[in-house]
Structure 1
Amino acid sequence: MKAFVDEDTCIGCGVCESLCPDVFKLGEDGKAHVIANDCSAGCCEDAKDSCPTGAISLK
């Protein structure tokens, strides 16, 4: 599974990074970015479900 962040929708709240720091990181632009190609960790689902703007998708 692979994670994607819609940077136009992301508000940079940091929930994804706090739940799944091996996959998500807030960048200097204040938006979340995917830093790992493989999102097989269960935390990715939690991050997706917890994103207040729905900016995270998994495929």
Structure 2
Amino acid sequence: MKAHVDKETCIGCELCPNICPEVFRMEDDGLAVAIDVEVPSDNEDTAKEAEEACPVDAIEVS
């Protein structure tokens, strides 16, 4: 499972790193980014929760 944040859509609300800091973090530009490796199996549920919580649907976890 991988996570991706569309930086063109992200509004920098910080929900995703607050929900799943193991997968998402904020960058210096104020926008979120996902880790570049497979989502750890222990974090799959919270990564999906962050995807569902994103107010602008900028996250894809698949």
TM over 0.5, yes or no?
A: yes
- SS of 1:43 mapped into structure 2: helix
Structure 1 unaligned spans of 5+: none
- SS of 1:57 mapped into structure 2: strand
TM-score scaled by length of structure 2: 0.88
* 8 A contact 1:10–1:55 mirrored in 2: yes
In the comparison of the two structures, how many residue pairs are matched? 59
Matches within 5 A, 1:1-59: 1-39=1-39, 40=41, 41=43, 42-59=45-62
- Structure 1 segments of 4+ aligned residues over 3 angstroms from their partners: none
% identical equivalent positions: 42
TM-score scaled by length of structure 1: 0.92
- SS of 1:47 mapped into structure 2: helix
What is the RMSD computed on CA atoms of the aligned residues? 1.0
